[in-house]
Amino acid sequence: MERLINFDPQWINDVVITGINIFILFFAMSYLLFNPARDYLEKRRKKIAGDLETAKSSRESALALQAEYEEKLRSIDKEAEAILDEARKKAKKQEAEILEEARAEAGRILERASREIDLEKKKALEDVKTEIVSIASLMAGKAVAASMDVKIQDSLIQETLKEMGESTWQS
């Protein structure tokens, strides 16, 4: 009999055995290769998910720290401004004290200068009085010596004035 498709029993046997071998090989390879690869991929997926979760929590933590630091910076700025205000107040107070001390010192200097001027005036007046007394005694001595009359007295005064110089009486 002639075969239609030309299947012989040997060929069918080879095809069946080859199919069984492929099926067995597929399961063996699946067990030896696919399962470890799947396990590795699953571990990697879990690791990546864990890393993403860690990154997310780290980011949230970093944002919280950033907000905290910004708040601290604002409080530090306020504190620095308060310190500067306090320093300005102290500086103005010291300035007022220094000005008051300078005014008091200037007043004392002016008072001392005024006293010295008064003393110098008194001394000058005393010197003038002494000079007038010496001139008067000189005139009296000349007047007594000459037993004078009015004309002699006038001439003595004129002579004395010339001796002293007119600049003495004018200053």
What pLDDT, on a 0 to 100 scale, did the predictor assign at position 93?
95
d(CA 29, CA 64): 51
Domain map of the chain by residue range?
9-166
pLDDT of residue 11: 83
pLDDT at residue number 154:
79
Sequential pLDDT tens for the chain (171 residues)? 455 567 778 888 999 999 999 999 988 888 888 878 888 999 999 999 999 999 999 999 999 999 999 999 999 999 999 999 999 999 999 999 999 999 999 999 999 999 999 999 999 999 888 888 888 888 777 767 666 677 777 787 788 778 776 655 555
Answer yes or no: are the C-beta atoms of 160 and 138 closer than 8 Å: yes
Using left for φ > 0, alpha for ψ between -120 and 50, and beta otherwise, residue 149 falls in: beta
Could you give the angle at which helices 150-164 and 35-146 cross, rounded to 10 degrees? Answer: 150
Give the pLDDT score at 146: 61
Q: Kindly report the pTM of this predicted structure.
A: 0.38
